[in-house]
A = this chain, B = another copy of it.
Amino acid sequence: MGRPRNFNRDEALQAAINVFWKKGYDGASMKDLTSAMGINSPSLYAVFGDKHQLYLEAIDRYSNDDGCAPLVAFESESDIEKAVIAFMRSTIDYASNHESGSKGCFLGNCVSTSVGEVEGTTERLQDAITGADERLAARFEKEKEQGNLPADFPSLERARLMFDLRQGQVLRARAELDQDTTEAGLAFRVKMILAI
């Protein structure tokens, strides 16, 4: 059943992500999707099932790529303070200067709308949130073991703090508000996240 082989599935999926990211699930028409992906609708159906399955796959892919880029930045930096800074900067950078031109966060600004309306989105958004919380907390725990953070450091609480701050930043980015304003208070935020 006509699956095309002469095209890059990953690139097509990335193109679909960018369309959904910009227009939302309902706002993205099949025409928007197919023209951005460079395929005709029959191919889309053969490869991805239907619009709904494509959407879920786009969410999964984004969760494992762009969406967790700040997490990777956080985990890659060896010094914990620099790691927190890297997380914040990476968040702002991806939310404001993504190569696709889409602003904000696909999960935070688009998938959130379809929660409860499009099947499969609620669990995925929940997993993305709690997963981020846990990955951030895990790093803090490791720092505690190494003695770089006090033994009573509330890792999960501060992880959630970081994540929540992130959401404000991506909303500002989505609204195309100047990211320099968020840059201003960054030092204090870092200090607070690591305080006591």
CA distance in complex: A165, B193 (Å): 12
Q: Is the CB of A175 within 8 A of B113?
A: no
User: Which secondary structure dominates chain A's binding surface?
Assistant: helix
Residues of chain B within 8 A of A109, CB atoms compared? 112-113, 115
Residues of chain B within 8 A of A130, CB atoms compared: 177
Q: List 23 A-B contacts (CB under 8 A).
A: A22-B117, A23-B26, A24-B24, A24-B27, A24-B113, A25-B26, A26-B26, A104-B112, A108-B171, A110-B112, A112-B112, A126-B175, A126-B177, A129-B177, A157-B184, A157-B188, A160-B185, A164-B165, A164-B172, A164-B182, A165-B165, A167-B168, A192-B195
A114 part of interface (Cβ distance < 8 Å): yes
Question: Which residues of A come within 8 Å of B, CB atoms?
Answer: 22-27, 103-104, 108-110, 112-117, 122, 125-126, 129-130, 154, 157-158, 160-161, 163-172, 174-177, 181-182, 184-185, 188-189, 192, 195
